[in-house]
Amino acid sequence: MAVETDRSWQAIDLKARLGGWTQRIGRLFGSIGFPSRFTTLTGRIVGVNLLGLAILIFGIISINQSTANLIDAQVKSLQAQGQIMATAIAASSATESSGFVIDANKLLEQDSETPMAVRVDGFSSLEFPINPERVAPILKRLVQPTGTRARIYARDGALVLDSARQYETGRVLQFELPRQLEYEASGFFDRQLRNIKAWLRRRDLLVYKEIGDANGKAYSEVVTALAGTITPIVRVNEIGELIVSVAVPIKQTRSVLGALLLSTREGEIDSILAAQHWSLAKVFFIATGVAVFLSVLLAGMIAGPMQKLSEGAKRVRKSIKAREEIPDFTHRSDEIGYLSGALRDMTEALYRRMDAIENFAADVSHELKNPLTSLRSAAETFPLAIKPGDRERLMEIILKDVKRLDRLITDISDASRLDAELVREDAQPVNLVLLIETIAAVFDDLHREGLPRIIVEIADVPNDSRAYIVNGHDSRIAQVIHNLLGNAMSFSPPNSSVRLMAHRIRNEVEIIVDDDGPGIPPENLERIFERFYTDRPGEESFGENSGLGLNISRQIVMAHDGRIWAENRYPAGTAPQSGGGADTRSIGARLIVRLPAA
């Protein structure tokens, strides 16, 4: 791998690639419906999980950047050292020559790009000899501070001097031991780690081989340096250690005397990287500890409250006498808080439903006992009655009680099935105009002499064909309208009218039923919707009304997210008077239903 190879360590921008992958993952999550808005708890989970990934990415980027930066710095340092050393060696060689002969004719024949040929005693051209004994002290002083290995090769590639060896009058005083011996002396796991590192690096880098005293042209950078070009190369030795070498030509004027090969010592770069990696490992261990702490903290924030909610739900299920409460975490603005609120609301609704069932059972028992008591009394008295008139009156009482029981049982059964039917059935678009007109037509068909007439008034809504469309259950909405009309007709005087009106109010449809009856006492405007409540004059209601009609109507309206209430009507320009009882100026009652429009 040659000089341009040092750039290859920085050519791959990991951050840019990771950014591209982030965009692709985001598009993938969007295509599968991944939620674009993260809630608080989701953000915590994702943040903690991404922390480990961020640490890994940071480590990879740091390792690659530090390696690339270190190699680049080494290349520049070796180039600067090489140029200084080559200049010093060339100057030493020049001062060594005591005389030389220049061929003037050949000198004139040389162009600007051709090294000039000079005749030196003992040499065929201007090739100053590089004397190891003269150059070695200079080289030793230059390389000693940096610890760089320097080798000088002659023009023919022969090794002139190697800083790894010390000379004195041509004798070798010291020779560095090869790194292979240190590798073999290392532990098993260390050797395996180095083998893996060597295998990974050999895929991208050339393998460095120590040639000793062999011809230096075995190194490609020496060849290019002898040709006059500075060439750096990054290699890896047999045990996976990086070696950076730079070959610099030794020039005197424009003539190349030889090549100076500078290289880092085996293991030098890896030692520096190991120190950096150990510093990074410390950061990694700290970050890992933080991640573990945050994970445990997050687990406590989720698992602890979830366990308490689970235990609270079990207590509610097993509790018989006392009312248990679900732990309150509604102060939290995350999923735990939402779940706690939902469970508390559900539990409260459950207890309300239980209370309603108990009250319903008590009310049913009370309401059924009244006709049963009357029926039992009449049945027991009937055998004792002697006069035909008494027997007929007793039989009439029995028939009315049976009729009342039948109506009570029917309404009670209807009320008990109401919630289940509304839950099971799917809501459908309901045309209230068609529904109102159909119900009014049915009442007209059953009209008898003296009964009130029904007047239908539906306000026109221009340019909106769906103005009176609501989502719901047509049969149950029809039951509400039927109950309201029946209630209004039962309180209206003979030959009067009952007005059934509908109009649109913003996003709601309002249905109004007006009658000309006595009105409703102000204190009973809310009580009329209670179960089994009835307030009719005289014995008009005996056996005819169960008191469940308006209560059932309210349940149906509320199940459709609507509202129902009662008002008294007063003459125009007047106001209701304060005081107990029905207002004397009331001209009738008004029942109002509002349902959300579709």
- Written as one letter, the residue type at 8 is S
Q: What is the pLDDT of residue 595?
A: 94
pLDDT of 100 above 50: no
- The pLDDT of residue 512: 95
Three-state secondary structure of 63-125? HHHHHHHHHHHHHHHHHHHHHHHHHHHHHHHHHHCCCEEECHHHHHHCCCCCCCCEEECCECC
414 has pLDDT over 60:
yes
Domain boundaries, the chain: 5-278, 325-424, 425-598
Q: From the DSSP assignment, how many helices (H) and strands (E) are in the chain?
A: 14, 17
Confidence check: pLDDT of 62 > 50: yes
Give residue 20's pLDDT. Answer: 54
- Tell which wins on pLDDT, 520 or 291: 520
Angle (deg, nearest 10), helices 388-424 and 474-491: 150
The listed range with the strongest mean pLDDT (65-74, 86-95, 303-312, 384-393) is: 303-312
Q: How many CB atoms lie within 10 A of CB 29?
A: 12
**Which residue did the predictor score with more confidence, 182 or 3?**
182
Q: How confident is the model at residue 499 (pLDDT cuts 50, 70, 90)?
A: very high
Q: So what's the pLDDT on residue 27?
A: 53
pLDDT band per the 50, 70, 90 thresholds, residue 52: low
**Residue 30: its pLDDT value, please?**
45
What is the pLDDT at residue 80? 87
pLDDT score at 257: 86
Judged against a pLDDT cut of 90, whether residue 301 lies above it is answered with no
- pLDDT for the residue 33: 41
Instruction: Identify the pLDDT of residue 577.
Output: 55
Q: What is the mean pLDDT of residues 408-433?
A: 77
CB atoms within 10 A of CB 245: 24
- The per-residue pLDDT for 9 is 36
Most confident of 24-38, 176-190, 426-440, 537-551: 426-440
Decide if 481 contacts 439 (C-beta within 8 A). Answer: yes
Q: Provide the pLDDT for residue 325.
A: 85
Q: Among 124-138, 287-301, 387-401, 415-429, where is mean pLDDT lowest?
A: 124-138
Instruction: Give the pLDDT band of residue 61 (cuts 50, 70, 90).
Output: low
Task: Please report the pLDDT score of residue 592 as a whole number.
Answer: 94
Architecture of domain 325-424: Orthogonal Bundle (1.10)
Residue 571: Cβ-neighbour burial (10 angstroms; 0-12, 13-18, 19+): exposed
Res 321: pLDDT: 65
Which secondary-structure segment (H or E) carries 43?
A: helix 40-96
The C-alpha atoms of residue 491 and residue 524 are separated, in whole angstroms, by 15
CA 206 from chain centre, in angstroms, equals: 46
For 470-482, the pLDDT digits (tens) are 998 888 899 899 9
**Which two three-digit tokens encode residue 282?**
């410390």
Q: Token pair of 583, please?
A: 């207002």
Answer whether 148's CB lies under 8 Å from 78's CB. Answer: yes
Angle made by CA atoms 381, 384, 385, in degrees to the nearest 5: 90
pLDDT score, position 24: 55
DSSP code, position 597: B
For 485-493, what is the mean pLDDT?
A: 88
pLDDT digits (tens, 9 = 90+) for 258-278: 899 988 887 777 777 777 778
Q: Which of the four pLDDT bands, split at 50, 70 and 90, describes residue 567? A: very high
Give the model confidence (pLDDT) of 127-176 as tens digits.
446 777 788 888 888 888 877 889 999 888 888 888 877 544 444 444 45
* pLDDT of 539: 47
The whole-chain average pLDDT of the chain stands at 75
What is the CATH topology of the domain spanning 5-278?
A: Beta-Lactamase (3.30.450)
What is the per-residue pLDDT for 42?
Answer: 63
Class of domain 425-598: alpha beta
Res 583: pLDDT:
46
CB atoms within 10 A of CB 107: 12
pLDDT (0 to 100) of residue 565: 94
Nearest alpha-carbon partner for 435 in 488, 498, 485: 485
pLDDT at 555: 86
E-state strands within 363-481: 428-431, 453-458, 469-472
d(CA 117, CA 109): 10
**Per-residue pLDDT tens digits for 504-549:** 998 999 999 999 888 888 888 898 888 777 776 544 444 456 677 8
Average pLDDT over residues 544-558: 80
pLDDT at 188: 65
Give the pLDDT score at 456.
92
pLDDT at residue 117 tops 70: no
Quote the pLDDT of residue 500: 94
CA distance 228 to 154: 13
435 — pLDDT class (breaks 50, 70, 90): very high
Of residues 362 and 76, more confidence is placed in 76
| Mean pLDDT of the region 202-214 | 79
Report the relative pairing of strands 497-505 and 206-207 from DSSP bridges: unpaired
> What tokens does 94 get?
């020049």
> Is residue 1 a contact partner of residue 244, using CB atoms and an 8 Å limit?
no
DSSP symbol at 469: E
Average pLDDT over residues 415-422: 70
Side-chain half-sphere exposure of 288, counting CA atoms within 13 A:
8
Measured over all CA atoms, what is the biggest interatomic distance in the chain, rounded to whole angstroms?
171
